[in-house]
Amino acid sequence: MSRPEELADALAKVRERIAAACRAAGRGEDEVGLVVVTKFFPASDVRLLAGLGVTDVGENRHQEARAKAEECADLGLRWHYIGGLQTNKAAAVARYADVVESVDRPELVTRLARGATETERQVDVLLQVSLDPPAAEHRFGAAPEALGALAESVVAAGEALRLRGLMAVAPLGEDPATAFARLAEVRAAFLSDHPDATLLSAGMSGDLEQAISAGATHVRVGSAVLGPRPQVQ
Ligand SMILES: *Cc1c(COP(=O)(O)O)cnc(C)c1O
């Protein structure tokens, strides 16, 4: 199979999985958006995906994301930054990302707002909430208790940033359905304070069905569309 055929085939399968999960959850099929995670894959793949109707792509490393966003600027895609974010890179990310999904501490907020303001852009923000046990190592995401203050900092940053919702990754070694059930509770509490922040980005190639059943409005799918990622390092 040629690469265009391969991508078209895999994308159709993922779209069908999303539609089936929506039906199973009693949700409308247009309620869940697909963000294709193109990290480690070339801009040529991004271009093919855009031709297949993909509108949203996700990246998790700043240099790679910036280069691809520049190379694909003519495609009108929405770029989601989904990776761990160093404080000193945040302003630069806000110069090309349309959505930053991995906001987990207040230091990032001021930097993102600065980058967005300098380029006269408005950047959508999702707060990444940790579903790990509190003592877990390499924990990404804010503790659920920290979301309130973090949300306030985004609102206080003014028009450059728009608080749109939450993002989470299911921890390894736990049934994703259990983790996403916790996420649904965290989200319900969050929505009562921020009723307009309705987005929920959760679910990847391996667990998108469980995430959709727990209320995800966006799934972030990489390998099920693009194939296995080349090994890093
Ligand atoms: C890489 C990545 C994904 C996509 O993972 P797949 O298992 O390849 O679908 C989703 N979310 C985040 C935060 C990622 O880093």
Supply 140's token pair: 């990404």
Total tally of structural domains belonging to the chain: 1
Question: In angstroms, how far is CA 53 from the centroid of its own chain?
Answer: 18
| Assigned domain for 25 exists | yes
| Assigned domain for 95 exists | yes
| Assigned domain for 179 exists | yes
Percent of residues, the chain, with pLDDT higher than 70: 97
Q: What is the CATH number of the domain that holds 65?
A: 3.20.20.10
How close is the Cα of 163 to the center of ligand 1, in Å?
22
* Residue 87 in this model has a pLDDT that exceeds 70: yes
Mean pLDDT of the chain: 96
How close is the Cα of 156 to the center of ligand 1, in Å?
30
The predicted structure's pLDDT at residue 228: 95
Residue nearest to atom 12 of ligand 1 (CA): 82
Expressed as residue numbers, the domain containing 164 is 3-226
The predicted structure's pLDDT at residue 133: 74
Confidence of residue 230 (pLDDT cuts 50, 70, 90): confident
The predicted structure's pLDDT at residue 159: 96
Test site for ligand 1: of 56, 220, 223, 225, most ligand atoms within 8 A of the Cβ: 220
Residue-wise pLDDT for 182-225, tens only, equals: 999 999 999 999 999 999 999 999 999 999 999 999 999 999 99
How close is the Cα of 192 to the center of ligand 1, in Å?
28
14 Cβ below 6 A of ligand 1: no
Across the range 62-84, mean pLDDT stands at 98
Residue-wise pLDDT for 113-133, tens only, equals: 999 999 999 999 999 999 987
| Assigned domain for 233 exists | no
| Assigned domain for 205 exists | yes
How close is the Cα of 82 to the center of ligand 1, in Å?
8
169 Cβ below 6 A of ligand 1: yes
Q: What one-letter code names the amino acid at 128?
A: Q
How close is the Cα of 80 to the center of ligand 1, in Å?
12
90 Cβ below 6 A of ligand 1: no
SS3 letters across 114-143: HHHHHCCCCEEEEEEECCCCCCCCCCCCEC
The predicted structure's pLDDT at residue 233: 45
More confident residue, 139 or 157: 157
Phi, psi of 64 (to 5 degrees): -65, -40
| Assigned domain for 203 exists | yes
Residue-wise pLDDT for 21-72, tens only, equals: 999 999 999 999 999 999 999 999 999 999 999 999 999 999 999 999 999 9
- CB burial of 73-94 (b: ≥16 within 10 Å; e: otherwise) equals eebebebbbbbebeeebbbbbb
Supply 27's token pair: 């949700």
The beta-strand segments (E) located in the chain are 33-37, 56-59, 78-81, 99-103, 123-128, 161-167, 199-201, 218-221
| Assigned domain for 70 exists | yes
Which ligand 1 atom lies nearest to the CA of residue 39? Answer: 1
Across the range 95-107, mean pLDDT stands at 97
Test site for ligand 1: of 14, 37, 103, 231, most ligand atoms within 8 A of the Cβ: 37
The predicted structure's pLDDT at residue 150: 98
Residue-wise pLDDT for 11-23, tens only, equals: 999 999 999 999 9
* Residue 82 in this model has a pLDDT that exceeds 90: yes
Q: In DSSP terms, which residues pair with 126 in a beta bridge? A: 165
Say whether 176 sits in a helix, a strand or coil. Answer: helix
| Assigned domain for 129 exists | yes
